[in-house]
C-alpha cells in the first residue's frame, strides 16, 4: 500500500492533534496521504481533493470516527472496492475494527499483510415517481420508509420480484443488510444476522397488525415498497444520514448493490466477540 486516504469526524475532540501525528507517522514510512480540504485544514495543510477523489486514488481508507463515519465512507468508496480500516474515536463500535490506542500497531499489521478482508453486502435504492427517478443511494446499513413527524400511521405496499406480498400499516418499514441488523432494525425487533449471510431483512416498525413480523428474503430478490397512504410528511432515509420526502404513489426499489464494502479485519477478534462486548452477553 502506497497511498492512504484519511476520512475523519472533524468535530471530534483532539482530532487535529491525532491526525497530525498520524500523517507524520505515515510519511516517515514512505506513504502518501490523501485527504480532502476540510481534513487538511485540521493540521494546517491545504488540499484541493474532494472526498470522492480520495476513494479513486487510495489503496486503503483510514476512517477516524465512529460507525456513522464508516457508513459515509462505505458510500464514498462503493464503486472502487477500497479496503476500509475503521478507528473508533470513542468506545467500541460494530463496524470500527480498532480503538485509538491500537491505531499504530494495527497499521503495522496491515502493512505487514497480517489482516483479512471482509466483504459486506450493500443495498442500492431508487425512488420512482410517475415513472421517473427522483433519488437514489447506496447504503451499508438500511433504507427506511417511515411516517416522519406524523403522529398517524402510513400504509405501504410490498412486492418482491414483481409479485404483491402484503400491505403494511404502521410507522414504517426498515430494509436492512446483515450489517444493519444491529442498528435500527434491532431496536424495532428485527433479528441479528451474521454479516456473511446474503439476505435482505424487512422489519416492520410498530405494525398495526401483529402478524406482520420481520422477513428475510434472498439478496438477489428485487424489492419494491410503494407508499399507498396520502398523508404528507412520509420520508425515506438512507443509513439514517440522508432523507428524501416521499408522496403517495412513490415506489422505493431496493436491491443488492453489485459492489460490497470491504472492511479490514484482524483474526484475533470475531464478529461474535463484538456482539458479546456490545450487547453485554454473559454479563451478570
CATH of 122-258, one of 3.30.1370.60, 3.40.50.1000, 2.60.200.30, 3.40.50.720: 2.60.200.30
Contact 86, 98 (CB under 8 A): yes
Name the CATH superfamily for 3-115+266-278: Probable inorganic polyphosphate/atp-NAD kinase; domain 1 (3.40.50.10330)
60: nearest Cα among 119, 128, 111: 111
Is the pLDDT confidence value at 91 over 80? no
Q: Do domains 3-115+266-278 and 122-258 have the same CATH topology?
A: no
**Average pLDDT of the chain, as a whole number:** 92
- Averaged pLDDT, 159-169: 97
Please state, for a pLDDT cut of 90, what percent of the chain lies above it: 69
Gap between the Cα atoms of 111 and 222, Å rounded: 40
Residues ≥6 apart with Cβ < 8 Å to 107: 25, 26, 62, 85
Model pLDDT, residue 196: 94
**Could you say which DSSP state residue 179 is in?**
G
- Please tell me the number of Cα atoms within 13 Å of 93 on its side-chain side: 24
pLDDT computed for residue 176 by the predictor: 98
Q: Place 137 in a pLDDT band, splitting at 50, 70 and 90.
A: very high
Question: What is the C-alpha to C-alpha distance for residues 221 and 275, in angstroms, rounded to an integer?
Answer: 28
DSSP label of 72:
H
CB neighbours of residue 155 within 10 Å: 17
pLDDT at 36: 87
**CB neighbours (10 Å) of residue 89?**
21
pLDDT of residue 92: 59
- State the pairing for strand pair 215-218/199-205: antiparallel
Strands of the chain, DSSP E? 3-8, 32-34, 60-65, 84-88, 98-99, 116-129, 132-139, 142-146, 154-160, 163-170, 172-176, 199-205, 215-218, 223-227, 235-238, 242-245, 251-265
User: Which of 104, 105, 110 is closest to 24 using CA atoms?
Assistant: 104
Give the orientation angle of helix 103-111 with respect to helix 15-28, to 10 degrees.
30
Rg, Å, the chain Cα set: 20
Q: What is the pLDDT at residue 283?
A: 74
Mean pLDDT of all residues in 10-37: 89
pTM of the entire structure?
0.93
Residue 90 has pLDDT above 70, yes or no: no
Domain residue spans in the chain? 3-115+266-278, 122-258
Q: pLDDT digit string (tens) for 237-280?
A: 999 999 999 999 999 999 999 999 999 999 888 899 889 988 88
Q: Could you tell me which residues are beta bridge partners of residue 238? A: 143, 242
Residue 93 pLDDT class (50, 70, 90 cuts): confident
pLDDT at 42: 87
Q: Residues 6 or more apart from 85 whose CB is under 8 A from it?
A: 60, 61, 62, 63, 97, 98, 106, 107, 110, 263, 264
Find the mean pLDDT for residues 95-114.
92
Tell me the catalytic residues: 67
Amino acid at each position: 500500500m502506497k497511498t492512504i486516504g484519511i476520512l475523519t469526524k472533524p468535530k471530534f475532540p483532539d482530532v487535529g492533534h491525532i491526525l497530525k501525528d498520524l500523517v507524520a507517522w505515515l510519511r516517515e514510512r514512505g506513504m502518501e496521504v490523501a485527504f480532502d480540504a476540510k481534513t487538511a485544514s485540521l493540521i494546517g495543510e491545504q488540499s484541493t481533493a474532494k472526498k470522492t477523489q480520495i476513494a479513486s486514488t487510495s489503496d486503503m481508507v483510514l476512517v477516524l470516527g465512529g460507525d456513522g463515519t464508516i457508513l459515509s465512507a462505505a458510500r464514498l468508496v462503493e464503486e472502487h472496492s477500497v479496503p476500509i480500516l475503521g478507528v473508533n474515536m470513542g468506545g467500541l463500535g460494530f463496524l470500527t475494527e480498532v480503538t485509538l490506542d491500537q491505531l499504530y500497531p494495527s497499521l503495522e499489521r496491515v502493512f505487514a499483510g497480517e489482516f483479512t478482508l471482509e466483504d459486506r453486502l450493500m443495498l442500492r435504492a431508487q425512488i420512482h415517481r410517475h415513472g421517473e427517478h427522483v433519488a437514489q443511494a447506496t447504503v451499508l446499513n438500511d433504507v427506511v420508509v417511515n411516517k416522519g413527524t406524523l403522529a398517524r400511521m402510513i400504509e405501504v405496499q410490498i412486492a418482491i420480484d414483481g409479485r404483491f406480498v402484503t400491505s403494511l400499516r404502521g410507522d414504517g418499514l426498515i430494509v436492512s443488510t446483515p450489517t444493519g441488523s444491529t442498528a435500527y432494525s434491532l431496536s424495532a425487533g428485527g433479528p441479528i444476522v451474521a454479516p456473511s449471510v446474503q439476505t435482505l431483512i424487512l422489519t416492520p416498525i410498530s405494525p398495526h397488525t401483529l402478524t406482520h413480523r420481520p422477513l428475510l428474503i434472498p439478496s438477489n430478490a428485487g424489492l419494491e415498497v410503494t407508499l399507498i397512504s396520502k398523508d404528507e410528511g412520509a420520508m425515506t432515509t438512507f443509513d439514517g444520514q440522508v432523507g428524501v420526502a416521499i408522496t403517495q404513489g412513490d415506489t422505493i426499489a431496493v436491491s443488492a448493490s453489485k459492489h460490497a464494502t470491504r472492511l479490514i479485519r484482524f483474526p484475533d477478534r470475531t464478529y461474535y466477540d463484538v456482539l458479546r462486548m456490545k450487547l453485554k452477553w454473559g454479563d451478570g
